[in-house]
């Protein structure tokens, strides 16, 4: 599957918390480093700081969609999907989005959802990646930008970067070191995806010639 590239492709961002990666993407757009049009930000948390960041940045649609208003995860995801389709978004960027997406949502937007994870996948998937890496005793960790599929943190890998792990690291200290790299890698990978495009061969992401 080859992704077509155009400038200023419309995207939706889904976030649950502080919105640090959301802000960095919005800043990269403003500075001309990331040619996307952030048309929609969705949060499942009414008090998420990400919502205020999006409003302050002038994102056209900023929505809190309450999961408790829907019968199940699939129904909630379907409501989100309708908003994404209505905004005509080409890509979906998960920025600290803490809900596991339903299989039906992933199938609907297959190959168009990206996420960042604080570990070098396929090692240490899941919600406790930093702690798991420390317990295992790794000497290097990092972060991974990947496409989302039905397997948790299991989609094709777009980009990775590493950081050292020191003997006196705590989960908080290591996570902070990883986040420094996340904040560089995520907007850069989104920009590359839009400008350059890629194809997928098996599990491998092959970047198109620039």
- Pinpoint the alpha helices (H) of the chain: 20-30, 49-56, 73-86, 103-108, 129-136, 171-195
Q: Is residue 2 scored above 60 in pLDDT?
A: no
Examine the residue annotation and report whether 117 is marked as an active-site residue of this protein. Answer: yes
Q: Give the whole-angstrom CA distance, residue 132 versus residue 161.
A: 18
Record the pTM: 0.93
% of the chain surpassing 70 pLDDT: 96
**What's the whole-number average pLDDT of the chain?**
95
- Mean pLDDT calculated for residue range 140-160: 97
Q: How far is CA 142 from the centre of its chain?
A: 15
Check residue 102 and report its DSSP letter: P
Q: Is residue 7 scored above 90 in pLDDT?
A: no
| Sign of the four-CA dihedral 196, 6, 57, 101 | negative
- Mean pLDDT calculated for residue range 15-35: 95
- Mean pLDDT calculated for residue range 53-79: 97
In sequence order, the β-bridge partners of residue 144 are 117, 160
- Mean pLDDT calculated for residue range 183-192: 96
- SS3 (DSSP) at 119: coil
Q: Is residue 186 scored above 60 in pLDDT?
A: yes
- Mean pLDDT calculated for residue range 108-112: 96
Go through the domains of the chain in sequence order and give each one's CATH number: 9-207 (3.40.50.170)
Q: Give the whole-angstrom CA distance, residue 165 versus residue 162.
A: 10
Q: Given the residues 117, 146, 175, 183, select the one marked as catalytic.
A: 117
Tokens at 201, concatenated: 């061969």
Contact by Cβ (8 Å): 76, 67? yes
Integer Rg of the chain from CA: 17
CB contact set of 127 (below 8 Å; sequence gap of 6+): none
Q: Give the whole-angstrom CA distance, residue 195 versus residue 90.
A: 13
Q: Which of these, 13, 194, 187, lies nearest to 96 by C-alpha position? A: 13
């Amino acid at each position: 599957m080859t992704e077509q590239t155009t400038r200023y492709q419309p995207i939706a961002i889904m976030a649950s918390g502080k919105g640090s990666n959301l802000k960095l993407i919005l800043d990269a757009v403003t500075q001309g480093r990331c040619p996307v049009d952030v048309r929609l930000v969705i949060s499942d948390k009414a008090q998420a700081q990400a919502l205020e960041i999006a409003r302050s940045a002038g994102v056209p649609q900023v929505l809190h969609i309450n999961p408790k208003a829907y019968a199940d995860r699939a129904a909630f995801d379907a409501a989100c999907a309708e908003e994404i389709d209505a905004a005509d978004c080409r890509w979906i960027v998960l920025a600290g989005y803490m809900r596991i997406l339903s299989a039906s949502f992933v199938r609907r937007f297959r190959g168009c959802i990206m996420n960042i994870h604080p570990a070098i996948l396929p090692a240490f998937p899941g919600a406790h990646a930093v702690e798991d890496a420390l317990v295992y005793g790794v000497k290097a960790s990092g972060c991974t930008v990947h496409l989302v599929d039905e397997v948790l943190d299991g989609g094709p890998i777009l980009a990775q970067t590493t950081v050292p792990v020191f003997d006196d690291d705590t989960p908080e200290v290591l996570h902070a070191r990883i986040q420094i790299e996340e904040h560089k890698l995520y907007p850069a990978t989104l920009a590359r995806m839009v400008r350059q495009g890629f194809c997928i061969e098996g599990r491998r992401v092959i970047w198109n010639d620039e």
